[in-house]
Structure 1
Amino acid sequence: MALGGGASGGGRRGRRGRKGPLTEINVTPLVDVMLVLLIIFMISAPLLTVGVPVELPKTEASAVEIKSEPLSVSIDQQGAIFVGDSETAFEQLSARLQTEAGGADKAAERPVFVRADGRAPYQAVARVMARLSASGFTKLNLITDTAPEA
């Protein structure tokens, strides 16, 4: 009798382990799934930006903080103008951006990011900036690459 509680104690433990409800939740699969989703979003987030391929000029300026969703205007190497992903004629630029901003009265509130290829003609960039300024857009930002050149 000195060895333990007898058959009844061992039987109770065995029954509880086999037939009793599981009281602990295993969170390891949840953590695994969340980490995989985090990695997927971290990889895909840079790909969700505007799809017009431009080579941005290098500068030493710091990043700008934004409070509302910006409008994006891109100028490629040949001087073609894109609003978002679609090409837009210079004559329709202000009307298209005002439509996307929600009207001419909201144009001053929305920031506009101008992404110009480093090899784009200066005249094309200057014309776009002047047209945007004359259309009522006051928060104009030139997007550059801040990484040092190798």
Structure 2
Amino acid sequence: MRLSSGKVPDEPEINLVSLIDVVFCLIIFLVVTTTFDHRSALKLVLPESQAVSDADPGDPLTVLVDAEGRFFIGNNEVLKRDVGSLKEAIARVAGDDRTRPVVLRADARTPHQSVVTAMDALGQLGFTRLSIATTPEAKP
């Protein structure tokens, strides 16, 4: 005959603390190892070209010209649109390295004078490795 001792058997429970620790570690790992795409916040429509570029420029200095003719060096906007202000902004970002490749990304609707102003400022500063970014020609 079985006699009861009056104790209620222990209910199994799941320890959530260790589960939360593991999930937290996974989230930190995924955030740290994620590669972020360095796309511009500006929406540019680049001109089209049939030529294919094979050269890898490394870490180029990026000069953006939007459709309204505003200049951006990297992610920073140049407030004035004259050559002097543009040269100062480029010199501040590039430092003394004039052999660094430069990529000029101008919207297809950009006024031609804005592109010439950017090229003139780069030329006056002594940059010789200039590339103009384009997109591949759309095939009909």
TM-score of the two chains, using structure 2 as the length reference: 0.66
- Tell me if structure 2 keeps the 8 A contact 1:50–1:72: no
Query: Residue type matched to 2:92 in 1?
Result: T
Pair 1:125 & 2:115 matched: yes
Match of 1:81 in 2: 71
Q: Where does the alignment leave 5 or more consecutive residues of structure 1 unmatched?
A: 1-35
Q: Whole-Å Cα distance in 2 between the matches of residues 73 and 64 of structure 1?
A: 21
Match of 2:94 in 1: 101
Q: Where does the alignment leave 5 or more consecutive residues of structure 2 unmatched?
A: 1-29
C-alpha spacing 1:83/1:64, structure 2 compared with 1 (3 Å): farther
Match of 1:65 in 2: 55
Equivalent residue runs for 1:1-150 within 5 Å: 41=35, 44-45=36-37, 48-88=38-78, 89=80, 90=82, 91-103=84-96, 106-107=97-98, 109-150=99-140
Say which structure is richer in helix: 1
Q: Which has the larger radius of gyration?
A: 1
Q: Structure 1, residues 16-70: CA drift from partner, whole Å, max 9, x if none?
A: xxxxxxxxxxxxxxxxxxxx99xx64xx53xx13332211011111124234310
Q: Whole-Å Cα distance in 1 between the matches of residues 124 and 70 of structure 2?
A: 20
Q: Whole-Å Cα distance in 1 between the matches of residues 139 and 72 of structure 2?
A: 26
Misfit runs of 4+, over 6 Å: none
Aligned length: 106
Q: Could you tell me the percent identity over the aligned residues?
A: 29
